[in-house]
Amino acid sequence: MYDNFGQFIDGKWSRGNGKEPVRVTDPGNGQLLGTIPAASAEDTLAALASAERSLEGWKNTQAWLRADLLQAVAREMVAATANAALTISKESGKPVAQARREWELSIDQFVWYAEEARRIYGRVVESRVPGGRCEVTHEAVGVVAAFTAWNFPVVLVARKLAPALAAGCTVVLRPSNEVPGSAMLIFECLRKAGLPAGVANLVVGPTADTYEPLISSPVVKKVSLTGSTQLGQQMIRDSAATIKRLSMELGGNAPVIVFDDADLEKALDLSVATKFANCGQVCVTADRFYVHESLYEAFVEGFANRTNKIKVGYGQEEGTGMGPLINPRRLQAIEAIVADARDKGAKVVTGGHRLDINGGYFYAPTVLANVPDDALAIAEENFGPIAAITSFTDHEDLWARVNNSSFALSAYAFTRDPARIREAVAKLESGMVGINSYALAAAEVPFGGIKASGMGREGGSEGIHDYMNVKLAQIVV
């Protein structure tokens, strides 16, 4: 499966020189998908040197030409869709239909930022100095080190590569060792599209060899991470010595408020589909549901009924609605969260146990009711197929409960009252808010959180500016 790929350095595929190969497992059956010769520290430094050499030429390439190359990448990706969807499904476990949709969203990133490359606007500000003019311009920040998680193995890569390349940066990307082949498919599309050698590089291997050389190097001017809050905190500390610019999309624990005037059927249909997509391993997924007491029983019953209709199985099987967790560690973590909820008095309405399917890492889609606020299922990000449902009566008390979290990536509310919509948008402490919708992730809008959920934005016109420095010139003639 990985025979033609490996490390992508200076425009070429090569075998890594690391000591131990990277072993990739299919979470749907626990079987080995393949091995990849890992990068050594020397390989990572070679990738970094390649990115440094190519920076001057790439950042001075006309924006229109950079845009043309990104459009060519998008066309190569379109042609690779069927194979990519299968690879993503095998590596991550998600159903093929969800994998295909992820690849299509990744294509959107390259198309959008091809257009944004042509819209890197500065501005002229009236000067106080006689005969003067103030010019504000934007320049590529330089060499970027990018690190991505396993839950969305291609769209997270695209969210970093596309804006960085559009801005004129060069990149060394380190994908998760759980899903490296999916990232490699994007790099093969970069190669086929004719991206100049060294502009984008990929290394796969152990942390000591693929993280330390990048994070400690003064050559790297910016770091972009999608990962856990704990990893983000460590990366901030590690970057301090060289004062790198940082963009971080970290953990989430999204609240969902269902008010008494909500369209109940719509809220249920959207919530169940969203909660169990990718087996709940989504940073912006609906985690904790606060339902008005007048709708509470109907909501719990409707949620459980819909959940019981989901077909759990291997990602490539017809009709599969939910696949496995990514590895045995996630299985153990989900079991611990459900056990904690039980111990604290929550009711398991449906699910709450492992599933024995093909030796894979499967857990039944689970609905918990009467969950107290101090249970792990509500207090922390569960990152799995657990819907934790509780009720509320008083609106003022509600806001304090909902915002009592260090995570603030996404939040949602269902209501038909215009005044309540504005109240929810204003009072929810979150980088993103969905009202009667969970559709927050798109190439054309900014994606990101506040508080412990990170800093910076990916997507939208804001995304490209995270890869650019602002320069002021006061010109007097």
The residue-averaged pLDDT of 160-183 equals: 98
Residue (of 347, 279, 335, 343) closest to 307 by Cα position:
279
Give CATH 3.40.309.10 domain extents, the chain: 254-435
Q: What band does 1 get if pLDDT is binned at 50, 70 and 90?
A: confident
User: Cβ of 88: how many Cβ atoms within 10 Å?
Assistant: 28
The residue-averaged pLDDT of 149-166 equals: 98
pLDDT above 90 covers what percent of the chain? 98
Give the pairing of strands 410-414 and 432-435.
Answer: parallel
- In the prediction, which pLDDT does 230 show? 95
What is the rounded CA–CA span in Å between residue 298 and residue 268? 10
Q: What band does 255 get if pLDDT is binned at 50, 70 and 90?
A: very high
What is the rounded CA–CA span in Å between residue 415 and residue 259? 6
Residue (of 71, 111, 80) closest to 442 by Cα position:
111
pLDDT above 70 covers what percent of the chain? 100
- In the prediction, which pLDDT does 395 show? 79
Does 3.40.720.10 match the CATH number of domain 254-435? no
For the ranges 20-34, 159-173, 392-406, the lowest mean pLDDT is seen at 392-406
Active site residue 458: no
The residue-averaged pLDDT of 369-382 equals: 97
Give CATH 3.40.605.10 domain extents, the chain: 7-250+451-476
Instruction: Dump pLDDT digits (tens) for 228-242.
Output: 999 999 999 999 999
Instruction: Dump pLDDT digits (tens) for 78-113.
Output: 999 999 999 999 999 999 999 999 999 999 999 999
Length of the chain: 477
- In the prediction, which pLDDT does 428 show? 97
- In the prediction, which pLDDT does 202 show? 98
DSSP-assigned states of every residue in 182-207: HHHHHHHHHHHHTPPTTSEEE--S-H
Token pair, residue 299, equals 């909501």
- In the prediction, which pLDDT does 396 show? 77
Q: Would you say residue 376 has pLDDT above 90?
A: yes
Question: Within its chain, how far is the Cα of 168 from the centroid?
Answer: 22
- In the prediction, which pLDDT does 412 show? 98
What is the rounded CA–CA span in Å between residue 113 and residue 73? 11
Task: Work out the mean pLDDT of the chain and round it to a whole number.
Answer: 97
- In the prediction, which pLDDT does 29 show? 97
Instruction: Please check whether residue 406 is in contact with residue 452, taking contact to mean a CB–CB distance below 8 angstroms.
Output: yes
Q: Would you say residue 394 has pLDDT above 90?
A: no
Catalytic residue among 178, 249, 381, 458: 249
- In the prediction, which pLDDT does 109 show? 98
- Please give the backbone phi and psi of residue 471, each rounded to the nearest 5 degrees, phi first: -125, 130
- In the prediction, which pLDDT does 388 show? 98
- In the prediction, which pLDDT does 3 show? 86
The residue-averaged pLDDT of 10-22 equals: 96
Instruction: Please check whether residue 53 is in contact with residue 198, taking contact to mean a CB–CB distance below 8 angstroms.
Output: yes
Query: Taking the domain 7-250+451-476, which CATH number applies?
Result: 3.40.605.10
Instruction: Dump pLDDT digits (tens) for 288-334.
Output: 999 999 999 999 999 999 999 999 999 999 999 999 999 999 999 99
186 bridge partner residues: none
Token pair, residue 24, equals 């990739």
The structure's pTM equals 0.96
Token pair, residue 80, equals 């690779």
Q: Would you say residue 379 has pLDDT above 80?
A: yes
Instruction: Dump pLDDT digits (tens) for 403-429.
Output: 999 999 999 999 999 999 999 999 999
HEC sequence for 117-162: HCCCCCEEEECCCCCEEEEEEEEECCEEEEECCCCCCCHHHHHHHH
Dihedral angle computed from the Cα positions of residues 89, 444, 215 and 221, in that order, rounded to the nearest 10 degrees: 150
Instruction: Please check whether residue 304 is in contact with residue 410, taking contact to mean a CB–CB distance below 8 angstroms.
Output: no
